Structure 1
């Protein structure tokens, strides 16, 4: 996650439990601990999680939780192969949007049924997509 995303989490809930929190920041000082990595390098963070102990033994899935620039890095990275998207059936006045996705490069999976879910006056659906392999 990016620093702004990290800052949006109330301090009493940081780091998020039962996971390794990776914060990409150009302003926070680098830090490495059991449950938290702060770095300014996306690729370095991925390599730590997949190649270095204790992380590589514990990490099963790497989730990208944003913000926009971090999502964009993930979408462009060759290791990214799956999107899990929550689509909210509403319009919001926001100053940041999820990056554009070329949906021609993705196939809908069946691991989430995509059925509408209603909660607290909002309707949303969860869907996942796998990146199509390019044939060279």
Structure 2
């Protein structure tokens, strides 16, 4: 019989996503664009910790995780939880398979994991993005506004500006228009109104 986990309170959840003009984020399990600097920004965010020895808890759907290049795995400073209702075994470079968002949050906020985790990062898919955006622990959305049209079959939900404010400047987030391969984009951060640091 496994010993009961002790809840240690909330952990901040941050969403990170890049989306085109129609809010498209993917096509057949892949990114619709090739933006190496934007992808490096994404990796830097999800693997950076401010306290040495801490790790980030990465919540990601199976399809999104399978799209990660093998050369980038395992992710540094990260514990990966795959969201899947069908997986029966834990994929290489992942630590957990969870049925839903609540299972991830229960794991991350309970001993023994909670003492090691700094931030929970939500990387998709769409259903988990929607759930996380409505969760009170979700305090920030790191959104890359890709200013172009792409064929997509997966779309990011609309951000409720009644709940989240666009922040004009945010530490560690480059300002102004970026451009790669003829595609312009902008890094943005939305912050939950009235959110308090955890």
Q: TM-score range by the shorter chain?
A: 0.7 to 0.9
Do the aligned partners of 1:50 and 1:56 also contact (CA within 8 Å) in 2?
A: yes
Do the aligned partners of 1:15 and 1:36 also contact (CA within 8 Å) in 2?
A: no
1:23 maps to: 82
1:46-90 Cα deviation digits (max 9, x unpaired): 12112222x322211111111111211111212111111111111
| C-alpha spacing 1:32/1:58, structure 2 compared with 1 (3 Å) | farther
Do the aligned partners of 1:26 and 1:40 also contact (CA within 8 Å) in 2?
A: yes
Higher helix share: 1
Q: Tell me, what secondary structure is at the counterpart of 2:105?
A: helix
Structure 1 residue runs of 5 or longer lacking an equivalent are none
In the alignment, the residues of structure 1 paired with residue 94 and residue 86 of structure 2 have an alpha-carbon distance, to the nearest angstrom, of 20
In the alignment, the residues of structure 1 paired with residue 122 and residue 159 of structure 2 have an alpha-carbon distance, to the nearest angstrom, of 15
* 1:64-83 to 2 correspondences below 5 Å: 64-83=122-141
In the alignment, the residues of structure 2 paired with residue 98 and residue 67 of structure 1 have an alpha-carbon distance, to the nearest angstrom, of 9
**Superposition deviation, residue 18 in structure 1:** 2.7
Q: Tell me, what secondary structure is at the counterpart of 1:103?
A: coil
Structure 2 residue runs of 5 or longer lacking an equivalent are 1-59
Do the aligned partners of 1:108 and 1:130 also contact (CA within 8 Å) in 2?
A: yes
1:56 maps to: 114
Residue-pair matches, total: 133
2:100 maps to: 41
> Over aligned residues, Cα RMSD in angstroms?
2.5
In the alignment, the residues of structure 2 paired with residue 120 and residue 105 of structure 1 have an alpha-carbon distance, to the nearest angstrom, of 34
1:70-122 Cα deviation digits (max 9, x unpaired): 21111121211111111111111101110122223221222135411112322
* Equivalent in 117, 133, 136 of residue 194 of structure 2: 133
Higher strand share: 2
Do the aligned partners of 2:87 and 2:97 also contact (CA within 8 Å) in 1?
A: yes
TM-score by length of 1: 0.83
TM-score by length of 2: 0.59
